Amino acid sequence: MATPVMSYDPTDLLDVERIRADFPVLQRQVNGVPLIYLDNAATSQKPAVVIQAIENYYKSYNANVHRGVHALSEEATAAYEGARKKVAKFINARSSREVIFTRNATEAINLVAYSWGSANVKAGDEIIITDMEHHSNIVPWQLLAERTGAKLHFIPVTDEGYLDLAAYDALLNERTRLVAFTGMSNVLGTITPAEDIIARAHAAGAVALVDASQLVPHKGANVQALQADFMAFTGHKMCGPTGIGVLWGRRELLEAMPPFLGGGDMIREVHRDLSRWNDLPWKFEAGTPSIAEGIGLGIAVDYLNSVDLEKVHVHEQALTRHALERLRDIRGLTLYGPPAEDRGGVVSFYVEGIHPHDLATLLDQRGIAIRAGHHCAQPLIERLGVPATARASFYMYTTHAEIDALAEGLEAAKKVFGL
Assign 391 to helix, strand or coil: strand
Amino acid letter, residue 11: T
The yes-or-no answer on residue 239 being catalytic is no
Fold of 10-46+309-416: Aspartate Aminotransferase, domain 1 (3.90.1150)
Is it the case that residue 3 has pLDDT exceeding 80?
no
pLDDT tens digit sequence for 76-109:
999 999 999 999 999 999 999 999 999 999 999 9
Query: What is the number of other CB atoms lying within 10 angstroms of the CB of residue 411?
Result: 14
Is it the case that residue 9 has pLDDT exceeding 80?
no
Phi-psi region at 395: left, alpha or beta (left = phi > 0; alpha = psi -120 to 50): beta
Return the CATH architecture of domain 51-306.
Answer: 3-Layer(aba) Sandwich (3.40)
Query: What is the number of other CB atoms lying within 10 angstroms of the CB of residue 221?
Result: 22
> How far is residue 33's CA from residue 366's CA, in Å, rounded to a whole number?
7
> How far is residue 275's CA from residue 268's CA, in Å, rounded to a whole number?
8
Residue pair 308/351 in contact (Cβ under 8 Å)? The answer is: no
Q: DSSP alpha helices (H): ranges in 181-290?
A: 194-203, 223-226, 251-256
Q: What value does the mean pLDDT take over residues 163-179?
A: 98
Reported residue count of the chain is 419
Stretch(es) of the chain classified as CATH 3.40.640.10: 51-306
Residue pair 276/267 in contact (Cβ under 8 Å)? The answer is: yes
Amino acid letter, residue 168: Y
Tally DSSP H helices, then E strands, for the chain.
15, 17
pLDDT tens digit sequence for 143-169:
999 999 999 999 999 999 999 999 999
- Sign of the C-alpha dihedral computed for residues 332, 334, 335 and 338 taken in this order: positive
pLDDT of the residue at 28: 96
Q: What value does the mean pLDDT take over residues 166-179?
A: 98
Selecting among 111, 228, 376, 381, the annotated active-site residue is 376
Contacts of 327 (CB under 8 A, 6+ apart): 333, 335, 347, 349, 406, 407, 410
> How far is residue 158's CA from residue 192's CA, in Å, rounded to a whole number?
13
Is it the case that residue 195 has pLDDT exceeding 50?
yes
Stretch(es) of the chain classified as CATH 3.90.1150.10: 10-46+309-416
